[in-house]
Structure 1
């Protein structure tokens, strides 16, 4: 952890506060990295030096993808280093891989020009889930078309296992884009849970059904990788099951982990090889 007030390590627990909330008052540059990534080690000191040099023009937030896998999946980080810039809780710019230092400086100048040292931003209060829910509901009440607030509230309720209101919240959210994908993720989590409840009392009657039931149950608990492995085993046992129930369950899980994530692509290829 750096001693600089402008460089912080971010975890899954504090990402919302340190990146999304703080980006309301200043640009936040998120560096997705890993210990084993040599280009990340080359890029890091360049970003650190720029953060120090600009003295508060932006906040550098470090995200270790091995320790923050859910965040990496959520933002579809497929290669590292990846740098994303957040302002007002939205991604406004970014790049992948290592750039020459001069290009990085030009990149940063677009939203965080060097100048007089900035005064430290006032710390934002950390809201507990109940306070977050109240704030989001107030936003929706003030603007029924605040789709970001609707998706954020749906995500908060899903995390708490409160699924009953999700479809009503998300019904008006337009499809496509990041908001649409986030809405689809919430719906898919609810759908998997409902499917698991429907199948809870089922007993396997044919080859592959035991693995299918196990896969759905694991997905409902959030263990998506183990769930996909079980579903592939079910597909290997019965090709007809693979084309119907297994495929439908896997499509739901792909929406949860990211339709174009590396993991989704890998399991999609495995299923296609079995079917074709």
Structure 2
């Protein structure tokens, strides 16, 4: 990305919609985005969703009356550029403002989504009070992550970190996304770059604590034992709480929190005080890892209360 930034030249093209390639990307996107947001559409002839998205995207850009520009990149003819921009599927749309990626999405989306996307870019470029584009990008990535689109969130976090490798919010978001994708080792490596003592935001501290708890749960799951054997033991003897507890650990290790919670509740329903209340304590750890407002937590807190107070 730094190489691309360096390739930019003063002055941006006045063309509203145009094609570009590796050689012209610096001028058409990086330099041009100093004047107004530039939307980059990565597409290919063989891509059906690309053909659905492009005319709708062109319409949305034209409706903004020059406030944003659209640049199209043929992915088949510009594979090196796609690799630099970490484009992994088509269509991919990235938005640049003042030389930096600030938003993006993948796949064909409805016209209402495109209007909101363009309106947000117009507002972003509206003046000094429009806000920090990097912070806007982090917020967008966090929204993708919260909606279950971890891979898309990773791509936005990566773009942010290419410009600011020490951005704490992006690092924490990247760690959480990696964890959701089952990449515990990568999560640990990312966290090594986070200076936890310098974090003042209570929300970021809470988020970081959840990630650490989730890593602990994943590590516990690795040592739970053979899942098929545990399932067989529980099936043969529903009162085998030790096997059911290990089975819960196995589920949590692979991110199957619902199955883990059901197994733990199965113990609590049969013997609330088994092993010094171990099942309830473990269930609370699952709540901590998921977060207080997560639908999983709210659902199983209600289930736990129902069991305990029935």
Q: TM-score, normalised by structure 1?
A: 0.49
Q: Which has the higher helix share?
A: 2
Larger radius of gyration: 2
Q: Which has the bigger relative contact order, CA under 8 A and spacing at least 6?
A: 1
Q: TM-score, normalised by structure 2?
A: 0.45
